Each structure stands twice: as C-alpha cells, then as structure tokens.
Amino acid sequence: MMKLTAKHILYGFLILFFIATLYSAISDSFQESKELALSELVGKVNAGEVEEIVVESSTLGIKLRDGSRFTSKKEEGSSLSDTLINYGVPSAQLSTFKHTEKDPSGLSFWAGALLPTIISLAFIIGFIWFMSRQVQRSSIQSMSFGQTRARMISPDSEGNRVTFKDVAGVDEAKEELREIVEFLKHPKKFLDIGARIPRGVLLMGAPGTGKTLLAKAVAGEAGVPFFQLSGSEFVEMFVGVGASRVRDLFKVAKKASPAIIFIDEVDAIGRHRGAGMGGGHDEREQTLNQILVEMDGFDTSDQVIVMAATNRPDILDPALLRPGRFDRRVVVDLPDIKQREAILMIHSKSKPLAKDVRLKGIAERTPGFSGADLENLVNEAAILAARAGKREINELDILKSIDKVILGPERKGYVINKEEKKITAYHEAGHALVAASLPNADPVHKVSVISRGRALGYTLKLPSFDRHLYSRAHFLDEIAVALGGYAAENFIFGDMTTGASDDLRKASSIARNIVQRYGMSKTLGPITFGEDNQLVFLGKEIGAEKNYSELTAQKIDQEVSAIMKSALAKAQKILRDRKSKLEEIARILIEKETIERDEFARIVGTA
C-alpha cells in the first residue's frame, strides 16, 4: 500500500480552490440586481411602478412592473409599511404592490446558508474516498515507459473475480493448484514446518484449455492480487526495457504480497536461449535472465508466486525448469466427454436453452474441442438463434454451430458451376465411402458439397471416442480416406483436379510421421529421424544438421512413397468394388447437397 504523497495533497488543494472559485462565481450571479437607495424606492412606490416587495429581515427584494429587479435595505426594527410611511408614502399607495414577508429563520434561510458548505464538504469527502481507492492502482498505472505494464486484478474487484467454480473439468490441475492456494492463504503453516514455498508454477496445455482462466481462479480463490503480463509484451524491440519491466513488476508484486505474477505465453521469452532468429533475441535473453535473477532472489518470506502458461513446453529454456524456478508443472488437458458437458453447462448457464437440448449429446459430438471452442460454440448457437428471432436456443442451432466452429462459416452464396459441383460430389463421396469401408477410420458425421472456408465441399469425420493413442492401422486407414477423393476423381473422370492438393499434403504428412516420428515403419524400425520438426518454425533447426545420413534419407523417402501407394491402391479397390454406392452418394449430394450421419449410414449399410 502507498501513503498519500505530497502530490496527492497538492491535487486536493487545487480541487478545493477550484470549487471555491466556482461557488463564489455562482453566488455572485444571484446578487447581480442593483441596490436602490430607500429614497429612490419611495419615488418608485409613489409613481406606482412597484409590483412586489419581498421582505427578508432588513433586506428588501423589489420587483418592478417592467420586470426589473432591485434590492434595498429598510430600517432595522420597524416594519416595511412604517418605514415607507415615515418616508412620506401615502398609506393608500401601500396597497398598490404585493407585500410578502419571508421568515428569516425558515427552512430556505438555513438551506441557503448551509447548502454550499454541505456541497463542498461532500466534494472533499468524495474526493478523498476516490483517491484512496486509486492510490494502489495508480501506483502501478502511473509508471510509464520502461516500467511494468502489468494489468492487475485486485482481490476486491467483485466484477471479474474468477474462482475454481468457473473452471470445469481439468480436475487434476485444480487439485494441484489447491495446494498453491493453501500456500498463499496460510503461508505460516508451511513455513513453520520448514517447507519451502514453491516459487514457480508452469501451466502446460493446448490453446484454449483454460490455462489463463485457471491462473486467475487461483488468485480468486486465495484472494490475492493478480499481476498479468504476456510474454510477447515483454519482447519489445527496446534494449533493456524488457528486463527493467521485469524488475519493476517484481518490486510492485513484492509490495503487494501475498500475490501472483502471471506470465502468459511464456514461450515468447522463455524459449531456448540462442534459438532466436533475427533481432530481438538479445532483448529476450536479458528479459529471461532478469526473470531468473528475480526468482532466485526471493527469500522465504516473499509470498509471491510466479505462474506461467505455455502451449509449447518442449521449447522452453531448461534453465526455467530448474528446481526453485518453475519446478511445479501442471498439465491442463483437453476435456473429455464428461468434462465437455460440464464446460457446456457453465457457458450455457446465462443463455436460454430450449428443453430439447441435451448437453450430453453435444459433448458426444465434440471430441477434441477445447474449453474455448465450446464457449465459442454456445455463443455461435446463441447468435444463430437470435438472428432467427428466437427466444431460446434449440439443439439444431447448436448442431449447426458445431460445423461452423470446425470448418468455418458456410458460403451458401458461393456459386459453383454444374461441372464443378459434380466433381466435388464424387470427390467427397470418395472420401466418405472409403471412410465407411475401413474399420480403423473415424466414422463419417456428415458429407456436403456446400463450400466452407476454402474447401468446395467437406466430409466431416469425428472419432467415436476421445483418442489418446493412435495406432498404425488407424493412420494407414486415414491416409486411404484422405486419398479417397483423389482416387474417385481419377476413377470416374479419368483426370485429376487441384481440389485434392490439401488431401495430398495431409496424407503425406501422416505418412512421414509414421516413418520419422513414430517409428512405425517395418523396414526402418523403431527410430526417430530428425528433431520434432515443428521447431523449424521457431528457427532452432534452421541450419542444424540432420541426424541421419543421405542413404537413410533415401530410405525414408522410399518408405513414405510405398505407404502412400499402398493406401491409394486400398482406396481404389474400395471404389471399384462399391461403384454403385459411390454413384448413389454422389447423386444424392448433387441433389440435396448435404447428407447427415444417419442417412449416410443407411446408404452404405452400416446402420
């Protein structure tokens, strides 16, 4: 907490001064009417120009018949009529104007006297209250260039407080994080027994699985301030700025302790040092070093816990993972079917669902969806329902949105000519029929020739359960399915189109992975070749040596090509054997454009 500084007091005085000036200006304008001498007033009364005189103790408010206003003073202790008669006004003239007495001790008198004081007092109290609320925040926000830009969520901001209740699924992660909450809430319990409070917690998991949400929930549960900053915000091209931000961030957090510092997407700074491409990596190293220095510099009484999130734990600098740094690692998994249902429940709570909606059924149809995907799904369904002018979201809205979330929006207005539609229909029918004929391929959910995103048509397949292991047989069947479209075009039209290029790329990459990553090749055996090839994106592997010989490279290529050829042969055989089915599917697609799961199963006879 900060104390009121001289600067704040100065501001206070300035505002007071302003209020005082304003007040005197306003009250002046009320008294703008001119003062008349009593003798002048007598003249006007005699001339019959006066319409009304208001008496308030010894002050007279005068209103003339032409509308102008004046003030005057009468003698203390005698009434208005006496005063006027003393000045020689004939008593008959007294009835030519209205005469009002105002009681000076009345409510309006007190209000007039006290109101300005009350208002300025309220201003001052309000101002002090406002400042004291701002002090803590401004101590962070007023730091400008080179200082921390963290956003802080303070524990008493009711509006965006997140707790474990808002996070569904991820039960193991929550269990581990409960311990961190305990540390933050009752540090003494742990210190007394000599336990070292963990300094760093690394949340690892696919994008959208709720890592950021979990970190906020830990702060919410423990009721401590939460400083959030993303890795890429550190990485700005000013030398030294990243490091000084880290220093300031830790300084502020220590003052506010117990507290949580959350570095989102830490891989942006924490990747292997020396692995960066181009400029900016010196900067990143300095930033990373500063984080490590700060974490090493914690002593046991600093109750600041650093949490970080990444979806690429494999590329993190090993120095970050040493004991005393991010030594707690929490895996945040994609949700399984039960957890998906729970997540759907959370995000549909504030939305009116029709009675026909079975969230369990939706969860069944969304394997591989992350929490963020599911939130997006419910939102898309709500938009769909609202656009149709409905008051409730029904199941069809949600089912339609599943396709949209997976494949992008439909492009109904996109016209394809008859010839292209026919080719697309056979292409998709090829995928679908091969998938339906192979035991280890994922089942077909939907076939369509309505274009979505970049594709002219699509065959939507979803695993029938949550897959964690993939077998060689499954991969081989998937390659055959991917080549099904290509094979069908070739079989029916004797030609090939560019429509199959995405399929070919997908099939080749599965085949390469079978050989190089999973060691599933019979001839080359249980060996991996090359590092995880995703690293190339981040520059580490560029210019790095291959860890296999040219001869092996040749063998790999041969093996990949053999896998592709045998998969193509498999697809071709299926299409030849079941040509009538292929034609039936294509015909229905041309006519109706979309075939759903149940109808498709009836056609190919798997229902």
Our answer to whether residue 380 is catalytic in this structure is: no
Quick one: which of 169, 231, 457, 499 contacts ligand ADP (CB under 6 A)?
Answer: 169
In angstroms, the CA 229 to CA 236 distance is 13
Nearest CA to 503 out of 434, 443, 562, 438 is that of 434
The Cα 599–Cα 607 span in angstroms is 9
The CB-of-14 to ligand ADP minimum distance in angstroms stands at 42
Q: Which is nearer to Zn ion, 423 or 560 (CB)?
A: 423
Q: Which H or E element spans position 325?
A: none
Q: Which stretch binds ligand ADP (CB under 6 A): 165-173, 224-232, 392-400, 435-443?
A: 165-173
348 part of the interface to Mg ion, by CB under 5 A: no
- The enclosing H or E element of 446 equals strand 444-448
Closest CA to 438 of 396, 487, 477: 477
Residue ranges of E strands in 8-49: 34-35
State in angstroms the smallest separation of the CB of 280 from Mg ion. 22
Mark 200-229 with x for binding to Mg ion (rule: CB under 5 A) and - for no binding.
------------x-----------------
Residue 371 or residue 530: which is nearer to ligand ADP going by CB? 371
CB 303 within 8 A of CB 187: yes
Which residues, in sequence order, are CB contacts of 94 under 8 Å at separation 6+? 45, 81, 84, 85
- Directed axis angle between helix 6-30 and helix 107-141, to 10°? 150
Distances in Å between the Cα of 597 and the Cα atoms of 201, 455, 464, 478 are 44, 20, 12, 18
The two tokens of residue 153 are: 């969520």
207 binds ligand ADP (CB under 6 A): yes
Query: Hey, which residues does 500 pair with through a beta bridge?
Result: none
From ligand ADP, Zn ion, Mg ion, none, interface partner of 343 (C-beta below 5 to 8 A by class): ligand ADP
Q: Which does 503 bind (CB under 5 to 8 A by kind): Mg ion, ligand ADP, Zn ion, none?
A: Zn ion
Residue 349, token pair as written in the block: 């709570």
Position among 213, 218, 292, 460 found at the interface with ligand ADP (CB under 6 A)? 213
Judged by CB under 5 A, the number of residues near Mg ion is 1
User: Which residue, 264 or 317, has its beta carbon nearer to Mg ion?
Assistant: 264
User: Which is closer to Zn ion, CB of 334 or CB of 429?
Assistant: 429
Cβ neighbour number for residue 295 with a 10 Å cutoff: 20
The smaller minimum CB distance to Mg ion, of residues 212 and 437, is found at 212
Catalytic residue among 283, 341, 380, 428: 428
Q: Of 298, 176, 167, which is closest to residue 220 (Cα–Cα)?
A: 167
Cis peptide bond upstream of 258, omega within 30: yes
The single residue among 80, 309, 359, 362 that binds ligand ADP, judged by CB under 6 A, is 309
Compose the 327-346 pattern: x for residues touching ligand ADP by CB under 6 A, - for all others. Answer: ----------------x--x
Kindly state whether residue 83 participates in binding Mg ion, applying the rule CB under 5 A: no
Show contacts with Zn ion in window 494-513 (CB under 5 A): 503
Catalytic residues: 428
Residue ranges in contact with Zn ion by CB under 5 A: 485, 503
Residue ranges in contact with ligand ADP by CB under 6 A: 167-170, 205, 207-213, 309, 343, 346, 371-372, 375
